[in-house]
Structure 1
Amino acid sequence: MEMLSQRQVTFFLLVCFSAILVNDAADTSTSCPEVGCLGQPVNITCDMTGVYKTVGFSRPDTIEVITCLANDKCYINDDNYEIVFRSPEKHILRIKKFSKKDIGMWNCRDGTDPLLKTCHMDGYDVKQSPTPTTSGCISLNKDGFRPSTLCRGFEEDPNVNITIWVANLPYTFTYDQYKQNDVVTLSNIPEGGDIECRVTGPASLCYTASKPYKNKICPAPGPTPPSRWLYVSICFAVLLVLVPVGLVVDWVCFRPRDKGATHFEKVKLYSRNAYTTTEEYI
C-alpha cells in the first residue's frame, strides 16, 4: 500500500478534528423579557441542545458574568447575578437588581459554538401609576376636559402613552399631547361611571399600582332648590294681589243698595198695644 502524502494526512486530521468540534458543540438560544425595571429582579433563560463543556452568560458590555461547567459548578464573576435553575437543557440566570449596564443585548453560548440567538432588554425607572386629580367625584361639562385636569403623574415620563377611561370610553394621549394639555370634547356628558387613569407602552410594565387609580364621575346636577328669600317674595306678591281683590269683592257683593258703605237693617218693632203697630228704622 502506498504511503499517504503529507497533504493527505493533514487533510485527514483536519476532518477528524472538525468532526470532534461539531460533536462537542451545543446550540444555544437566549430569551429574556423586553423590559427590565431598574432595581427589580429579571430572569434570562438559556436553552441548549447538543453536547457542551461550558455555558456562559454575557451582558451587553461583553463581560461574562457567570460561567457554568457541564456537570459541575458555576463560577460567578459578579455578585449581582446568580443561577436559579440548571438542567442539561436549560439554565436560568437571575439579575438580582436590574441596572443600566444590563440594558442591551444578552447572550448565552457554549465555549466553542458561535451565537445562535440573543435577546435585548430596555430598562425603565419604577414609578407609581397615575391617579385622579381629586379624591372626591370629578365633574364633567359640555366644554370637554384637559387630561391634566383628570389625571396626574404623567408629566415626567415620555416613554408611555396616557389613556383616560371616561365611563368605559378610552381617550389616548401621547406625552406631547399631555404636555400641551389638549382639550377633548365630549359628545355626551355621562351621568355616572368611573374615570380611570392608565399608561400604555413598554415602560408601563414598570409602573406599580397605586390606589385609587380611578374615581367616580359626579352625577348630573339637579334643579337648584329655591332660596328662603324667594318664598318671602312670593308670599309678599300674593298678599299684594289678594288684599285689593278682597276689598273689591267685599265692596261689590256685600254692599246694601243705596245705603253706601254702611250696612243698616230694617227692624219692625211692635208696641205693647196689640192694636197699634209702630215701625221704626234703626
Structure 2
Amino acid sequence: MLNSKVIRKLHAPVKIQRKFNKFRHDRIKRKLQSYLINADYHNETKSKENSKIIWVFWAQGYNSMPDLVANCIKTIQKNKGNARVILLTSENFDNYAKLPNYIINKFKNGTISPMFFSDVLRFNLLRNYGGLWLDATDFAIDTVSDDYFSGLCTVSGIPDNEHFFVAEGRWHTALFGGPKEHPLFQFMDNFFASFWKENDESVDYFMTDYALDYAYVNNIGNFKNYIELNRGKVDPNFVKLQLYLNRKFDYDKWKSLTKNTRIFKLTYKMKLNKKNNTFYRFIIKKNI
C-alpha cells in the first residue's frame, strides 16, 4: 500500500508528492473540522504581558532522561538570560496547568500519551501564563534573550517542498511562545479541550499542526501575519544541527550553522557517536 513515506523514499516527482500529501492532509482536516470551527477565542489579546518563563516538559521525570535530553536542559538553564526556567514532569505539571479533569485523567491512565499531552500542556500554559515553550531536546548555545519574549515567537521558513508536513515549515512547536491569553493560545487550548473530551485517540501524529494550520488560514490572533513577516528570522538553522551530530566536526560548518541560530532542535531517537571528533562531542564539551 502506498503512503506518503513510501512515495517520499521512492523519490517520486515533487508534483506527485504534493498532490498525494494534499489529499492526505485534506482528509485529516475534515475529521477535525467540527472541533476547529467550534473552538472559541477572543479576537483581541486581553493582556500584552509575556512572562519571561521558559517551559520545559519531560513526563518521565529527570532521573530517567537520556543523556542528550539532560544535556539539552542543562544548556537551557545555562543560557536562560533574564528568564525563569520551569521544568515540568508528570508529577508537578498540575501545579501550573489549568486543564479539565478528564484530560488529566486520560493522561494519567495512559489514554493520552506523553507526546500528545505535551501539545495540550504547551498551549494551556502559554494561554494562562505566556512565555516560551522549548522542547526538552532543544539545545541552546547562546542566551535566550528578551527578543524571544517580545510577542508571538516560533521558528518559520523550514523547507518542505513535498508538502509532507501540513505545517510546511511555517512553524515548529518545539519552540513556541507569546503573551498570555493570546487568541491563538485560547483557540488551541479550547480545541484540545473539545477534542479530548470526545476522543481517546488522536487522528494523526501531527494533529497539533492541523489545528495550527486552521489558525494560520483564518489568521487567528494575526498568526498568519506573524508567520509571513518572520520567515527565516528566528533560528533559521533550528533543525539542521541534528543532521551533523555523528559527523566529523568541521569548524567552518559549525560557524555557518551558528551564525544566526542560538537554539537547535536535536533528537534522542538516534544512536549517537560520542567519539571526540564528532559534532555531538564538540557541542557537549563546548556548552555543558
Structure 1 length-normalised TM: 0.19
More helix by share: 2
Higher RCO (C-alpha under 8 Å, 6+ residues apart): 2
Bigger Rg, structure 1 or 2: 1
After TM superposition, the score normalised by the length of structure 2 is 0.18
